[in-house]
């Protein structure tokens, strides 16, 4: 499934930001290097971006830059974990996850009074996928185990969680660095979750709370 791209020229016109702002935000790591995609066109080499991701990121930067420094924004948008911990009550009161997801997580991983950011991320990713209605609770168990075991191995790199199903059998994987993945026709891609975007959403929800 190829992502829709937007050219640098179109991006600057659509968002109203300058060339200088764009590359300053890149230097400050507010926009990932991997989003700057060089492609050959009939006029030579041009820079393109993943359209949905870059437009969302720039909108978030514009909305938050008056309240946070660029370094604080960089930390917000980083896929790296933070030292944030939240209690059961804080998770529910801030509407980060539902009571159903919290109970399901505890059934699988045991009782917790507080949750580390790594655990919060697992909970939030599971919440998003369960709320979509695309996955079953049994598949939720698989997703939790894959995130717990393999997500730390990304060590801040970009990655995507993919859940596939063939003849009723589900398998989950994490693909690093946004590489394209192709499956045989009989395989159904049930869910795809861009992990850095999920981390970013979680950090923003925690900040808003």
Same structural domain for residues 131 and 185? yes
Q: What pLDDT sits at residue 1?
A: 47
Same structural domain for residues 34 and 91? no
Q: Are 97 and 131 in contact (CB under 8 A)?
A: no
Tally the domains of the chain. Answer: 2
- Domain residues for 124? 86-208
Closest CA to 114 of 87, 144, 150: 87
Same structural domain for residues 98 and 198? yes
Same structural domain for residues 195 and 160? yes
Tokens 């990713």 correspond to: 125
Same structural domain for residues 91 and 73? no
Same structural domain for residues 33 and 117? no
- Cα–Cα distance for residue pair 31/182, rounded to 1 Å: 27
DSSP label of 112 = -
Q: What pLDDT sits at residue 2?
A: 57
CA angle centred on 80, ends 58 and 192, rounded to 5°: 70
Q: Are 200 and 77 in contact (CB under 8 A)?
A: yes
What does the pLDDT look like over 32-66, one tens digit per residue?
Answer: 888 899 988 887 889 999 998 899 899 989 988 88
Same structural domain for residues 44 and 92? no
The distance of Cα 69 from the centroid of its chain, to the nearest Å, equals 22
Q: What pLDDT sits at residue 179?
A: 62
Same structural domain for residues 14 and 116? no
- Cα–Cα distance for residue pair 32/22, rounded to 1 Å: 11
- Cα–Cα distance for residue pair 3/36, rounded to 1 Å: 14
- Cα–Cα distance for residue pair 102/94, rounded to 1 Å: 13
Q: State in Å, rounded, how far the first CA of the chain is from the last one.
A: 35
DSSP label of 168 = T
What share of the chain in percent tops pLDDT 70?
A: 96
């Amino acid at each position: 499934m190829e992502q829709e791209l937007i050219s640098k020229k179109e991006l600057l016109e659509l968002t109203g930001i300058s060339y200088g702002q764009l590359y300053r935000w890149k230097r400050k790591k507010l926009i990932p290097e991997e989003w700057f995609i060089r492609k050959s066109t009939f006029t030579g080499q041009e820079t393109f971006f993943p359209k949905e991701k870059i437009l969302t990121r720039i909108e978030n930067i514009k909305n938050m830059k008056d309240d946070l420094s660029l370094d604080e924004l960089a930390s917000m948008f980083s896929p790296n974990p933070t030292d944030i911990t939240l209690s059961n009550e804080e998770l529910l009161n801030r509407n980060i996850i539902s009571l159903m997801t919290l109970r399901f997580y505890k059934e699988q991983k045991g009782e917790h009074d507080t949750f580390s950011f790594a655990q919060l991320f697992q909970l939030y990713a599971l919440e998003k996928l369960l709320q979509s209605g695309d996955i079953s609770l049994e598949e939720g168990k698989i997703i939790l185990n894959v995130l717990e075991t393999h997500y730390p191995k990304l060590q801040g790199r970009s990655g995507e969680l993919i859940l596939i199903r063939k003849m009723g059998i589900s398998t989950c994987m994490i693909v690093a660095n946004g590489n394209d993945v192709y499956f045989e026709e009989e395989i159904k891609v049930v869910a795809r979750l861009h992990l850095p975007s999920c981390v970013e959403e979680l950090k923003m929800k925690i900040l808003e709370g």
